[in-house]
Structure 1
Amino acid sequence: VEGKDSLRSSRTNLDICKGEHTMATSSGAPPAGPSRPRVPTPAKDTKPKPTKNNSTSARRLQRELAELTLDPPPNVSAGPKGDNLYEWVSTILGPKGTVYEGGVFFLDISFSTDYPFKPPKLVFKTRIYHCNINSQGHICLDVLKDQWSPALTISKVLLSVTSLLADCNPHDPLVGSIAQQYLSNREEHDKMARQWTKRFAT
């Protein structure tokens, strides 16, 4: 009797499992296979749509590029890398009569889509011995920080950088040791700056 009851119970459980399986597939959908992650369907156009912000910055940059090409600041050239209007490269010739004379200094310039309401980012790619420019090429210059104004242009900024090479500001340094040397031992400072210019910028 116990054997018959066990057999009957097993059949009942089997029928229940069959019923559950039937309910799960009775909607007309095929039985689920191995679960796979659902891959989102790519959008037809993945390019960012133009907005008022970046169209304004693009027009401004195109205008500045045209002006810079026609009337560049002394010893300065600049322009986009390829067809990317927001990434530029610039060269600055070391001003005559300074410790950077004879050097050619390369900079990367990055503009955000908020330009000209946010300043561009300038980074020296050529090493330079200067108290306002650190080893990563970052520049301590007021017009790139709190003195930035949308009325400024990249041409004026590059002119300010050139002026900084001719006349550093040791009282607002990015490299304190070089600023201290400039103030306390100008002769040694100038010697080091000329050596770096000859080594890295010529």
Structure 2
Amino acid sequence: MKDFKKLQSDNLVGINAVPDENNIMEWTALMFGPEDSAWEGGIFKLKLVFHEEYPNKPPNVKFISKIFHPNVYSDGRICLDILKSSWSPIYDVSSILTSIQSLLTDPNPRSPANIEAARLFEQNKREYYRKVKQIVEESWDEK
């Protein structure tokens, strides 16, 4: 898949992804929390599942790791426009994962997937960042 070669050549900071050795349509990604953010120091696993229609249809992408974020549902699915209505075949694995990494530091609480996280982000940032820090610390204990 050309996405894999491009991902390797892009050499993204804090992001890596590989296809499953038994199924090229399923990928596992590891994403480090961006530096100088509340997520710094965390390591998060994601799963990408591609459809036969890719790149005309976006992959299903979700966090496997526990995450507390306004735009991530409790089951790990991500509320991000480029994975839904704004999808375009020009997007690739690199752009998807870069967008998700950016979303970590710049959430959109007006389009919440996690109501509690969105409420805390808007009304009680201290508590929001406390919960994020806890998730970051727990991320190293996940298998």
Give, in angstroms, the shift of residue 194 of structure 1. Answer: 0.5
Q: Of Structure 1 and Structure 2, which has the larger fraction of its residues in helix?
A: 1
Which of 108, 116, 119 lines up with 1:180 in the alignment? 119
TM-score by length of 1: 0.67
Question: Which SS does the other structure have where 2:135 is aligned?
Answer: helix
Identical amino acids, percent of aligned pairs: 35
Q: Of Structure 1 and Structure 2, which has the larger fraction of its residues in strand?
A: 2
In the alignment, what sits opposite 2:89? 150
In the alignment, what sits opposite 2:57? 118
**CA 1:142–1:89: 2 relative to 1, 3 Å:** same
Write the distance in 2 (CA, Å) between the matches of 1:71 and 1:174.
30
Q: Map Cα deviations across residues 135-174 of structure 1 (whole Å, 9 max, x no partner).
A: 2101000000000001111110100000001111111110
> Segments of 4+ in structure 1 off by > 4 A?
none
In the alignment, what sits opposite 1:75? 14
Aligned residues: 140
TM-score by length of 2: 0.94
Which of 164, 174, 177 lines up with 2:103 in the alignment? 164
The code of the aligned residue for 2:81 comes to D
Write the distance in 1 (CA, Å) between the matches of 2:2 and 2:22.
15
Q: Map Cα deviations across residues 95-136 of structure 1 (whole Å, 9 max, x no partner).
A: 111111111100010000000010011110100111111221
In the alignment, what sits opposite 1:107? 46
Which of 25, 31, 35 lines up with 1:96 in the alignment? 35
Q: CA RMSD, aligned part only?
A: 0.9
In the alignment, what sits opposite 2:77? 138
Write the distance in 1 (CA, Å) between the matches of 2:24 and 2:125.
41
Give, in angstroms, the shift of residue 189 of structure 1. Answer: 0.7
